[in-house]
A and B are shown apart, each in its own frame.
Chain A
Amino acid sequence: MTVRVLLADDHTLVRSGVRRILEAEPGLEVVAEASDGAEAVELTRSVRPDLAVLDVSMPRLTGLQAAREISRRVPGVRTLILSMHDNEQYFFAALKAGASGYVLKSAADEDLVEACHAAMRGEPFLYAGVTSTLVGDFLERMRRGDSAPRAVLTPREEEVIKLIAEGHTSRQIAAELVISHKTVERHRANILTKLGMRDRTEMTRYAIRAGLVEP
């Protein structure tokens, strides 16, 4: 089944770049392009894509505002935020606005396709920076004895979580541990499940509780 994607970015060159990346991937098809947030919302309502990829800073409506509108008016459509800001506050703001994930532009070439698939599976996409923030915070709390892990991690998972906390990307971790990229992704997914951070709402709740983000 082909995933129909709407693309919104006010910068034409970026839009066509993203389009090329997505269309090179079998199973993804760009069905509409918008150059601002309001147009993205309108097109989403008329075209009904499966997924809307929104640039965070756009004229008329920002990406976050557009995501909020879309999740309110066209609830079936998943959204992804594309952003320049390597800042977990934006990430949580995106989740609160109803987005399924947050992709950094500086890593878009590697992460975007993966994020699209994650969004369609109904999983939050965590970019490397925010994962290390979350995991680092979690490890710190465990050290202080604030909360015990729900399930014991395997030694391999512990190796992976340490590297995640240090801010390494999945690809770097794969190279470091001499395992495949897919295996790292599976470990990462398992770790997040075990830490109770698999689901978007769950993660937002955790972040608020941990004081990573203000409610």
Chain B
Amino acid sequence: MPLFWRVCLINGAVFLLGTLALALSPATVSAQPLLSELVVLLLGLTVIVLLNGALLRTVLRPLDRLTAVTGQIDLRHPGLRLDEDGSGPARPLVRGFNAMLERLELERSTSTARALRAQEAERQRIAQELHDEVGQSLTAVLLGLRHAMDSAPEPVRAELDELRGTTRASLEEVRRIAQRLRPGDLTDLGLISALAGLARATSARNGPRVRRRLPTSVPDLPSATELVIYRVAQEALTNVVRHARAESVDLGLTLSDGRLVLRVVDDGVGIPRGAMGAGIQGMLERARMVGGVLDVRAREDRRGGSGTEVRLSLPLPRRAEP
């Protein structure tokens, strides 16, 4: 029954009760009400108000709970729902609210996934163009300068040599930007090599020593999943270099119980409370996109050391044995 009719019915029933009491009881009210009559009337009124209040309360309390929950809703932490069974008369409303949350969360995760996919596609396109157009043209310029140098008179030669240095630096810069935008080694050499390269590059940039614990091979994964694993490792290692002041990091990938688990564990200063930045949020979104679970927590260490552990767990795609 709709809430409006429920409230009307309760009020009507209470009024009916009062009317019946007046009509059927021998009580009368004089034209000039006596004090005793007023006391009886007041008592009756109090009974009616209390009864009405108590009855309406059962109907309306779930609404208050609903209001409280709406204040707590945060789509970044999905999964919060109202108890439908304990909602009594407000059940349809609660059910509608829960269904709405469901739709919102679904919509949010699909639109985040869409946004991330669009971002990756765009990055890939830019990287491709940088690599194929700008990079190749600069290579041609570099080679041309070298060739021109060989036949140029001495004063021009020094100038050409300088230009060659600039061209080389630009070429390296273009390559670096392209690699950051799109990990070319991931598509060319596969996930394991790409992760190994990432570890090496992190150590080489004056970062902490990265110990690799990578299997020699992994089952074939969808490229979207490989990209998520790579990006999470990349983001986690970037965070370690920027914030952790760590001496060493373990980068591990393991296969167990039909799940693939990526772990990045450092021995740094740990994450201060409330310091979860956009980077970690991005990792969470990416993990969710491919059905994975991401967990960022203080490192487990019996010797009381500090540090951070980033753990990404993904279900392996099921496939029939060939």
Q: Which residues of A contact B (CB under 8 A)?
A: 11, 13-14, 16-18, 20-21, 24, 56-57, 62, 64, 84-90, 93, 105-110, 133, 211-215
Interface of B: prevailing SS: helix
> Contact between A89 and B144 (Cβ–Cβ < 8 Å)?
no
**B143 & A214 in contact (Cβ 8 Å cutoff):** no
Does A87 lie within 8 Å of B185, measured CB to CB? yes
A-B CB pair tally, cutoff 8 Å: 100
Asked if A89 contacts B139 (CB within 8 A), the reply is no
Task: Determine whether the beta carbon of A11 is less than 8 Å from that of B136.
Answer: yes
Neighbour of B147 across the interface among A20, A62, A87, CB < 8 A = A20
Kindly state whether residue B135 has any CB partner on chain A within 8 Å: yes
Near A by CB (< 8 A), chain B positions 179-197 give 179, 184-185, 188-189, 192-194, 196-197
B91 within 8 A of A: no
Partner of B146, one of A21, A87, A90: A21
- CB–CB A211/B175 < 8 A: no
Minimum Cβ distance to chain A for residue B253 (Å): 11
**Contacting residues of chain B (87-144) with chain A, CB-CB under 8 angstroms:** 131-132, 135-137, 139-140, 142-144
Contacts of A86 in B (CB 8 A): 172, 175
Are A87 and B168 within 8 A (Cβ)?
Answer: no
In whole angstroms, what is the CA distance A87 to B184 when docked?
Answer: 10
Given contacts A20-B144, A85-B184, A87-B197, 9 further A-B contacts (CB under 8 A): A17-B140, A56-B188, A57-B184, A62-B188, A86-B175, A87-B179, A90-B185, A109-B164, A214-B192
What separation, in Å, do the CA atoms of A18 and B150 have in the docked complex?
14
* Chain B interface size range: 35 or more
- In contact, B135 and A105 (Cβ under 8 angstroms): yes
Asked whether, in the complex, the Cβ of A21 is within 8 Å of the Cβ of B147, the reply is yes
Interface of A is mostly: helix
Give A111 to B76 CA distance when docked, in angstroms. Answer: 52
Interface centre among B136, B150, B194, B212 (most CB of A within 10 A): B136
Contacts of B175 in A (CB 8 A): 84-86, 106
Which parts of B187-235 form the interface with A (CB within 8 Å)?
A: 188-189, 192-194, 196-197, 200-201, 204, 212, 214, 216
A198 to B194, CA, bound (A): 26
Complex formed: what's the CA distance from A89 to B212 in Å? 14
| Minimum CB distance partner of B137 in chain A | A13
A64 and B190 CA atoms in complex are apart in Å by 13
The residue among A14, A62, A87, A93 with the most chain B CB atoms within 10 A of its own CB is A87
- Asked if residues B143 and A18 are in contact (CB atoms below 8 Å), the reply is yes
Contact of B145 with A by CB under 8 A: yes
